[in-house]
């Protein structure tokens, strides 16, 4: 039986930016300022581009007839491998910013490791493409995290609530699924477990600068990479996939 | 001097303008990776710019149409991301054309963190040439551009974001 580890690992890499893009695009026309509206939608487009590169790669890695669109529009919740953090509701702008910050600190570390240490040249090529864009995204969420954390009493309170809710979903992303374990052995994927400390320290240091606490409550042990999701993903997919599922193969 | 088929194909490609920025060609932007035209291989390899750039599909279509119109239906058009495109691939002519059009070309001396403070160095106003520039937003009308304003002549303008892969 064929080992699907590489295909699944590529879905793990693709699905987080895909769902993040879907969530960010929900801000279209609703952001607090026009400039923020443009920024969030531009970021969504970048993330979609990242997802597409990876879904295209994943499609070539499977036998049979599949492509990026079939993978995006015809998989169900249990087959999606995105980090649960990315499917959480946008909430207020504070929640969206904290969610983006947690996500992009991780993305930057992950893709930097892939660029430097993966033995797969195509994946390294993708890393070189996505890293500069992730830096811009991180710049945006870091900047807004600072403004909101040190802004008014209300902005600070909303950021504190966001951190309390979202941190619960963060640490699990560092647990490797069986497919990732195989691809780490192969040298395809870096072992992000060894970077968990660096991630937490980076976040903690930044939070110290901004007088923000890192919660110490228990955290979730499922990341979503194994296919176990929150109640939110179903609704996202229902909206995202509805058109293709109603009229399969529909094109512009 | 002999003009090879590959040269002729390149001159066809150099007539294709970027649909979003209609003063620069895909050659100016450094999007043409390779042109092969021999017995074993008939291919044009393009380097896409930004990952989410919606113009990429349009450009691929324009390339296909231009090649077909010139009689090169037998050439395959492929997108290659390895090595990735960076703003370093934009030619000097391309950068000049951007500036004339009113878009500040990417500046390798600009620092991404500088986008945080709002104080921009290394960029000149396309209208008056002043280097006293304020950042309005790191995001502009397209994902590849940022919005800036000249503090001297007060003209707003767009800046083509610098994406170098040498970091």
Query: So what's the ipTM on this one?
Result: 0.74
pLDDT at B116: 60
Q: Among A133, A140, A142, whose Cβ lies nearest the Cβ of B51? A: A133
Task: Tell me which DSSP letter residue A214 carries.
Answer: P
Residue A120 has pLDDT above 80, yes or no: yes
Shortest CA gap B84–chain A (Å):
6
Q: Indicate yes or no: CB of A143 within 8 angstroms of CB of B163.
A: no
Write out pLDDT tens, residues B9-48.
Answer: 999 999 999 988 899 999 999 999 999 998 889 999 998 8
Residue A110 has pLDDT above 80, yes or no: yes
Describe chain A by its helix, strand, coil percentages, rounded to 5: 70, 0, 30
Q: Indicate yes or no: CB of A49 within 8 angstroms of CB of B53.
A: yes
Tell me phi and psi for residue B16, to 5 degrees. Answer: -95, 120
- At B7, list the tokens: 């040269």
Residue by residue, DSSP assigns A61-113 as TSSSS--HHHHHHS--GGG----HHHHS---SHHHHHHHHHHHHHHHHHHHHH
Residue B112 has pLDDT above 60, yes or no: no
Residues A243 and A72: beta-carbon distance below 8 Å: no
Say yes or no: B149 contacts chain A, CB-CB below 8 A.
no
Say yes or no: A42 contacts chain B, CB-CB below 8 A.
yes
Among A136, A145, A150, A251, the strongest candidate for a mutation testing the B interface, having the largest count of B CBs within 10 A, is: A136
Task: Check: pTM over 0.95? Answer yes or no.
Answer: no
Q: Indicate yes or no: CB of B52 within 8 angstroms of CB of A46.
A: yes
Residue B144 has pLDDT above 90, yes or no: no
């Amino acid at each position: 039986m064929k080992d699907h580890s590489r295909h699944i690992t590529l879905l793990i890499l693709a699905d987080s930016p895909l769902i993040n893009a879907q969530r960010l695009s929900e801000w279209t026309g609703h952001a607090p300022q026009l400039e923020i509206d443009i920024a969030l939608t531009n970021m969504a487009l970048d993330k979609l581009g990242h997802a597409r590169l990876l879904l295209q790669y994943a499609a070539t890695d499977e036998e049979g007839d599949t492509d990026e669109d079939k993978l995006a529009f015809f998989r169900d919740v249990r087959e999606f491998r995105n980090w649960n953090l990315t499917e959480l509701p946008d909430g207020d702008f504070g929640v969206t910013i904290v969610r983006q910050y947690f996500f992009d600190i991780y993305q930057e570390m992950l893709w930097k490791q892939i660029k430097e240490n993966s033995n797969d040249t195509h994946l390294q090529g993708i890393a070189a493409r996505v890293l500069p864009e992730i830096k811009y995204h991180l710049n945006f969420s870091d900047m807004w995290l600072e403004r909101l954390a040190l802004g008014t009493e209300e902005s600070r309170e909303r950021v504190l609530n966001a951190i309390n809710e979202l941190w619960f979903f963060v640490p699990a992303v560092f647990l490797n699924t069986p497919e990732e374990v195989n691809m780490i052995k192969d040298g395809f994927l870096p072992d992000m477990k060894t970077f968990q400390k660096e991630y937490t320290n980076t976040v903690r240091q930044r939070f110290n600068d901004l007088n923000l606490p890192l919660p110490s409550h228990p955290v979730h042990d499922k990341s979503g990479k194994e296919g176990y999701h929150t109640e939110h993903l179903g609704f996202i997919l229902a909206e995202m996939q509805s058109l293709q599922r109603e009229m399969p193969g529909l094109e512009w | 001097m002999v003009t090879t088929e590959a040269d002729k194909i390149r001159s066809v490609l150099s007539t294709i303008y970027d649909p979003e920025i209609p003063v620069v060609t895909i050659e100016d932007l450094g999007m043409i990776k390779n042109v092969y035209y021999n017995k074993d291989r008939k291919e044009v390899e393009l380097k896409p710019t930004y990952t989410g750039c919606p113009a990429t599909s349009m450009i691929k279509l324009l390339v296909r149409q231009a090649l077909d119109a010139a009689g090169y239906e037998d050439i395959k058009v492929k997108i290659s991301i390895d090595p990735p495109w960076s703003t370093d691939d934009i030619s000097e002519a391309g950068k000049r054309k951007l500036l004339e059009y009113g878009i500040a070309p990417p500046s390798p001396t600009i620092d991404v963190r500088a986008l945080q403070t709002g104080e921009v160095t290394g960029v000149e106003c396309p209208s008056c040439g002043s280097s006293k520039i304020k950042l309005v937003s790191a995001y502009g009308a397209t994902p590849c551009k940022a919005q800036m304003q000249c503090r001297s002549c007060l003209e707003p303008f767009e800046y083509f974001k610098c994406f170098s892969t040498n970091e």
